[in-house]
Amino acid sequence: MNIEVKDLNKRFDEFALKDVSIKVPKGKIVGLIGENGAGKTTLIKCILGAMFKDSGEVKLFDKKYDNKLKDDIGVVYDNSFIIETYNIKDLNRIMKNIYSKWDEKLFFEYIKEYKLPLKKEIRKLSTGMKKKLEIITAICHHPKVLILDEPTSGLDPVIRSEVLDMFQNFVDGNDNSILLSTHITSDLEHIADNVIFISKGEIIFDKPLKDIKDDYIVLDVEKDEFKNINKKHIIRYKENRLDYQVLIHKKDMTTKYKKYIKRITALDDIMLLYIRGV
């Protein structure tokens, strides 16, 4: 197991992570979803040792985190970590001094492949170029795990597609893995093996993406027909102006419910009904 968290607790004045347990297996991309303030970034900081936990256990590669493991972990945050007055050549020189396994040849191969300018100050690059540079930098010291916090936020669909390809290439055919925290759940539907849903500091589910698709279905039910849904079958529901959205398990589907199915269920549907439904 590349990442394992057991019964992690972290309390603040108005928020707490409560008995959080997750796993990121070798060779897998694991998505982490949840609303703003759900605890995603706090969990990532606790995993990386950037924030003290109150209790619980965090292991990376079956070991407790210490600074010796930094070469095996690549990190990309929502906000750029790169000093923007540097250019790409400056960045390469710095990384060589930080990481013992820094691969200068691979770094410049990526820079060439993604057509990033060598001499332009990083602050003058486009948002998409900066994000690709951050990801390349995280990959080029040959980590075993990438931990990514909103890495595709603000990117256009073309750049996002290129970035997702980079993630898939990173895990394909080896034991590398990725923990990817994102609000863009459609990205996960393309690349994730497993999805962890956290809300209000608690894990709602941690399942293979395929199982989530197989487990849940959303019904669109007109208001005067809501009474026809067996209350025992309702996981969550949300009242809209003209109808109800109802989340149920597929195993509870009956013939009389089939007329209410109007679309394929997406991760967004499930997450929003858990968060905003009753």
Q: What is the pLDDT of residues 5-14, one digit of tens each?
A: 999 999 999 8
Residue 146 in 3-state DSSP?
Answer: strand
Specify whether 188 is located in the same domain as 220: no
pLDDT at 262: 66
Residue 207 domain flag: no
Enclosing domain of residue 35 = 3-200
Specify whether 171 is located in the same domain as 123: yes
For the stretch 153-191, pLDDT in tens is: 878 888 889 889 999 999 998 999 999 999 889 899 999
Specify whether 183 is located in the same domain as 161: yes
Domain boundary among 174, 200, 226: 200
For the stretch 183-230, pLDDT in tens is: 889 899 999 999 999 999 999 999 999 999 889 999 999 999 999 999
Domain boundary among 150, 166, 200: 200
For the stretch 114-166, pLDDT in tens is: 899 999 999 999 888 888 899 999 999 999 999 999 888 878 888 889 889 99
Integer angstrom CA distances of residue 214 from 208, 268, 276? 10, 15, 22
Check: pTM over 0.75? Answer yes or no.
yes
Q: Could you tell me where the DSSP H helices lie in the chain?
A: 40-47, 88-98, 104-113, 127-139, 157-171, 185-191, 209-215, 267-276
How many domains does the chain fold into?
2
Domain boundary among 143, 168, 200: 200
CATH number, domain with residue 112: 3.40.50.300
pLDDT at 233: 95
